[in-house]
Amino acid sequence: SSSSSSGLGELVLVETAHTAVPSARVPVLPAALQGRTSMQGISFVLYQYEPCPFCNKVRAVLDYYKVPYEIVEVQPMTKPQLKWSRNRRIPTLRIDVQENDGKKVTLEMGESTDIITLVDTLVRQTGHVAAKPAAKASHAATSSGWLSWLGLSSSSSSSSTTNTTTTTTTHSSLEREDRWRQWLDDKLVHLLPANIYRTPGESLHSFDYLLTHGNFGFAEQTASRYVGASIMYLVCKYKLNKKYGITAPREQLYAAVNEFVDAVGDNAFLSGGSEPDLADLSVFGVMRALSKFDAFEDVLQNTRVKPWYDRVAAAVGPSSGTVVAAAGGAVKA
């Protein structure tokens, strides 16, 4: 997920369009990935903004599954690193596939929820997560958006849907997982900008982090610092908060986080098993993005999320990604 605008506007860290998570998913992969029994010959590059919660969702899943990937930090103003892309969205996952005949096929996806579902499906198909005790039937999003980006025809999608043979238990489990992934995209993520840009002081502090950890040159940092922080504060206060019914940002954030913790209950994870599911990982990724800002410590002190957060952090472990573009540098894709 990402904002459809460019430049400073994207640093408000909200999406303007979202593809709903399907409640009944089937194992659909693009032709170049179908039938793969290993990850050999498949490489991943994530084009991201480091503080972006949607990018952090994707990274949490890739890190958890220990999928090696490269990270390219995109310059938000003109996005030169995405000149090769048809969609120029953040995040974008580029998948390079070496086929048996030696040809290379490049796929791209630009919606965080769909990226996560595809990665989950692929690693299970290839047996990459065979050691994970909570592994369940593979499943993938069937939205027409990313299927068309990946070169899948609508007939391929409908055929796979017709042949779905999902057990009641698995279907129920996936429905719960999907419901909380949808809740994350519909509710929790909209509370982030309201909190990191809550006051002029917090907005300035947050913007300092965004500018110093993103791919901005010195001149852009200097020119954007005060103007950008002021714009983000005003946009959140008078537009986004009104749009999403946010009147008390901190209190509503605490309530939303505790709502999720209540759903986890006495379990270690929302999944109810010994390993996190995609909803656990997605919420963790967004929370990890928030951890760079002042609001995070307030959340830890005023909610019951810390034990769950620490458990997921331990399950995810160190990053399997490698940064290939330092801030301020462009990458030739």
Q: Is 236 a catalytic residue?
A: no
Q: What is the C-alpha separation between 190 and 193, in angstroms, rounded?
A: 7
**Of 44, 47, 49, 233, catalytic:** 49
Question: What tokens were used for 208?
Answer: 């300092």
Nearest to 95 by CA among 28, 143, 53, 47: 47
Catalytic residue among 44, 47, 54, 207: 54
Q: Which of 44, 47, 55, 254 is catalytic?
A: 55
What are the φ/ψ torsions at residue 43 (nearest 5 degrees)? Answer: -130, 150
β pairing state of 92-98 and 104-109 = antiparallel
Joined together, the tokens standing for residue 42 give 């498949």
d(CA 264, CA 271): 8
Strands 69-73 and 42-48: parallel
Q: Which residue type occupies 278?
A: L
Asked whether the beta carbons of 3 and 189 are under 8 A apart, the reply is no
Residue matched to tokens 């160190």 = 318
Would you call 65 a catalytic residue per the annotation?
no
Reading the block at residue 89, the tokens are: 């969205």
The single-letter DSSP state of residue 48 is: E
**Given its phi and psi angles, is residue 185 left (phi above 0), alpha (psi -120 to 50 degrees) or beta?**
alpha
- How far is it, in rounded angstroms, from Cα 290 to Cα 228? 19
In the chain, % helix, strand, coil (3-state, to 5) comes to: 50, 10, 40
Q: Give me the phi and psi of 232, to 5 degrees please.
A: -65, -40
Residues annotated catalytic, as ranges:
49, 52, 54-55
